[in-house]
Chains A and B, each alone.
Chain A
């Protein structure tokens, strides 16, 4: 244990950097994925067929392909098309597109669960469609999507560990580099696991408290 703590002290900055990178990438993809997911979710429910189909295809492709394949594709494909993205940018792009599809799909479910009578009621008192969306549909749909949205957040934080395979210096890659120096395999993998665990449980608790607060206002 003493040896581990000594090694941990030596490796504190790389691991801290990796931890920050994991948090930054996760936060970035959750924000990007949520904005994208809101657009996608609304299109999936209300867009005319010709516009709905491409969104449906996007969601099905993202949901049918493993995240690792998306990350590798985002890492290799832009370069041959003449775009230069860093590994971190490519990885964030892949995670964000993945998140957008998942959040779009869960928002679609929440939107479709709202009784259509409410849209008709909104229309009959003279609200325009954007007004109905902003004042009637989204407040309810966003609330019911909160628990699966938090789940998606946890999946994204876990998924960000896959970026280590394209050389993004996030928590797992930094941990592997440290293990390469001191060969304390079990200790440092477990330590990385504990860090992921702490962040995810914190996010989960935040979600639960938000649910309670939003539920109280019902």
Chain B
């Protein structure tokens, strides 16, 4: 084992790694934003009275949760053009990751919906709010607050999954690290730094989320 560490080669390209980290975060933010809309719709569908809506939501979650993200990403990126839909690689990856996040968020929001006390829903109805108004101004805020911890975990998960964008040549952190790896052969250093960046980002996000949770009292 004759390997001496030379971090210099990695520091020389450190700005590329940071840029990659920013792209990964941006991908995760965009995907979770779209995924939240999908997840909310699907969660309300999963607790609705209509059997059809419950079926659609259930099938969506079952399909997406049991198929590898990489298969989904490749399918959307390589197969959609054949049906005439043209997306660039960023749009296609954000779309796939959003679909994926939506399925996980369905479960998160569903649990949040079930955690809303029945009494406050009835109270909303009793003061004359319509069903829609009750959902928007009573159920949603409580549900969102109660799902905040799981929502944060899902976001961290999606940020880690943004590494899969390297498979379709999006220059995010993993892609940049692999490039430095094959350019310089400073293998140990590259992966230590890349993994360190991911861990630092995850811990920072987790700490920020805990602060956010403390600012709003739990129901």
Binding site for B on A (CB under 8 A): 60-61, 64-70, 72-73, 76-77, 79-82, 154, 157-162, 164-165, 172, 176, 179, 185-186, 189-190, 192-193, 196-197, 200-201, 204
Contacts and interface: CB of A to CB of B under 8 A. Distances in A.
Interface of B: 1-3, 62-63, 65-72, 74-75, 78-79, 82-83, 160-164, 166-167, 174, 177-178, 181, 185, 187-188, 191, 194-195, 198-199, 202-203
A66 B163 contact: yes
B199 A60 contact: yes
Nearest to A176: B74
- Most chain B beta-carbon neighbours within 10 Å: one of A77, A79, A172: A77
Contacts of A200: 65-66
12 contacts: A64-B199, A67-B160, A67-B163, A68-B166, A70-B195, A73-B191, A76-B181, A81-B3, A158-B66, A158-B67, A162-B164, A200-B65
- Most chain A beta-carbon neighbours within 10 Å: one of B66, B79, B194: B66
Contact of A185 (B72, B78, B199): B78
Given A72-B178, A77-B191, A80-B185, A201 B66 contact: yes
B3 A80 contact: yes
Contact of A189 (B1, B75, B83, B198): B75
State the 9 A-B residue pairs at the shortest beta-carbon distance, nearest first: A64-B199, A66-B163, A161-B68, A73-B191, A200-B66, A158-B68, A186-B79, A66-B160, A189-B75
Contacts of A72: 174, 177-178, 181, 191
- Most chain B beta-carbon neighbours within 10 Å: one of A68, A158, A200: A68
Contacts of B178: 72
Contacts of B187: 76-77, 79-80
A78 to B, nearest CB: 9
Contacts, number: 112
- Most chain B beta-carbon neighbours within 10 Å: one of A60, A76, A81: A76
Contacts of B198: 64-66, 69
Contacts of A164: 70
B202 A162 contact: no
B164 A68 contact: yes
A189 B74 contact: yes
Contacts of B166: 68, 165
B71 A165 contact: no
A121 B147 CA distance: 38
Contacts of A81: 1, 3, 188
